[in-house]
Structure 1
Amino acid sequence: MQLQTLVDLTPHNTFGLPAVARAMVHIDSDAAIPRLLDHPLYGPMPKWVLGGGSNVIFTGDPAELVLKVAIKGRRLLPTQADAWIVEVGAGESWHDLVRWTIANGRPGLENLALIPGTVGAAPVQNIGAYGVSLQERFDALDGIDLTTGQPFTLTGDQCRFGYRDSIFKHSLAGRCVITRVRLRLPRPWRPVLDYPDLQRRQRESGSGRPDPQQVFDWVCALRRAKLPDPATVGNAGSFFKNPVVTADRFAQLLRRHPAAVGYRQPDGRVKLAAGWLIETCGWRGRTMGRVGVYAHQALVLVNQGGATGIEVLALARAIQESVKGRFGITLEIEPTVV
């Protein structure tokens, strides 16, 4: 356990927003958490868990004690008849994990390649991309209660996964630390190529049956073409959730806007492409002060240099009002606002 005070959080969030933590603790093992809870000064403080900082917007300095999870480790657990099981420390890089599983003959995460952030943050957000969500590849996770110091294990049902949502955003918010995640990768492996962009890549490659590495490479290429690299352009990836509407509401939208983009869901509803809504309102490539909308993907807001979280939210609200006024649809911000 490493303790630091007055920590600049700018390099700890991918949007590059300024904030200072009064104190930050690096959690590198399960044993560090009980030691922290027993600390006479920091033990009683409210706590806030920081993963890779890829899904957070700082609007000021956090009042809580910041816990930076850095628990490492990757293990291949015994193979089951219908699945490969892998166990990963919460502080591991998600993208590095995806590459590692493919290299070790455990495919199934390739559609989730190049998503920034840590493994421990993935269940919180229930990350998803190109037709696959974490909950479809999830087995269980381990964590430690920040009040009692007791370890616990949660199954997928207990995590209450929803679209970019989980129990960790609600009743367990700020109350626990995820230490390890176990993933269940279905076998035999089958490629998930439901998205038109992946189908187009398959046609262009002439590959009738792509292997996991090919799908991984296609996903990486698509994401790099559409999304800015946080190492060079500050951003938090997709800034708004794709709104889900009834089939009737989508039919009404299509009558007025035949080019509207939507994806039918198993329950009959339709997930709208938030990027299309924003672009249709004329926001793609526009700037507002030191914040802008990415020229290649309207769903992404970017730091033009020196932006603050307040400026980011001002642009986000302007976009929300614009989309609401034109389509009657409310966009929900995806990152956590601190």
Structure 2
Amino acid sequence: MKRLLLLSFVAVSFFACSKDDKKEEPPVDYTNPTVLSSALKVQYGVSVKGAMPVGTGATGAPVLNVANNNRVTVAVNGRYAVITPELSSGKFKGYYLKVTGAESYFKVDFSQARDGGRKAAHATHSLLRQDGEDSVIVIKLPEDAKLDTFKIEYAVYDSSNVVSNVIKELIAVLPPAGGADGAGFVGNWQTYRYKDAGEPEWTMAIGADTSWTPLKCINGKLVYSQDGTPYATNISNVLSDEGTFNANGVLTWESKETYSYLDEIESGCANLKYVVTNYDDKFRGGWSYNAARKELTLIYDEDGQVNGDNFEVIVYHILEFTPTRVLISSPDGYQTELAKK
């Protein structure tokens, strides 16, 4: 009995000590450049201890555009910061990148296979219409980082390992969804209408757009003729183009469209045959709104689950913003009006 009591006392003492000894892990100090660098993931990047190679201004060395020095790049916390090196002269094979003040740097080789940016299969008039960039610097930010801004510096190198000048850049990290400023975006939206830069007329997003071609029936077949009868030869019918801005910064969007064209070879004069293709483009990514700059940033990255190849970042400028509608302009001047559902 005494032995059992002794064992019970030891067990109670052990658990009591274990509970008292348990301490909360201190938060990660991402303001430390070396700590932050170790938490970043750079696509195709290998971390190397030591000082980053820099150029010597040798003849024939690649030269980066100095106008981009101290440029600000916007990123959403927990997602990607994307930087496009801009050459003034020369060619490059890869780049070196480091967080300013860190004890290591990343080396990336662009000659490795890349799938290119995320591109919708067919969407042409929605938030899915923009294409991604190739040969970009892709930095995945840590999920739990309490970041505001941090500095990086990078240089490119060519096939002979000759290094360019160094460009410094500031990464401004936005909170997902943009906090209180982004509350007005939260909810379900649909594309209402659109127009190209400089165009006075709007086009409704939902509905059919038909192209007509003058054709004549000759020997039982349809052939082109300027004085022929107009036939519907191409029909693009957008069925839906809508999505949801979630309060946690997740954005989902889907565009459904049917495209038909007249098969003039297989068609008879009285028996028209159309080839029909159905498109269903969708993505899941992140979003953030900066009220001060009137910018809506969209990150097409399948909610951070992609490997870095299949993503895209686009910053839209907000032209008008009400509780029920928002008018945005893409980098190429293309305007889209969204309506809240």
Q: Higher strand fraction: Structure 1 or Structure 2?
A: 2
In the superposition, the TM-score normalised over structure 1's length comes to 0.25
In the superposition, the TM-score normalised over structure 2's length comes to 0.25
Which protein has the larger Cα radius of gyration, Structure 1 or Structure 2?
2
Q: Higher helix fraction: Structure 1 or Structure 2?
A: 1
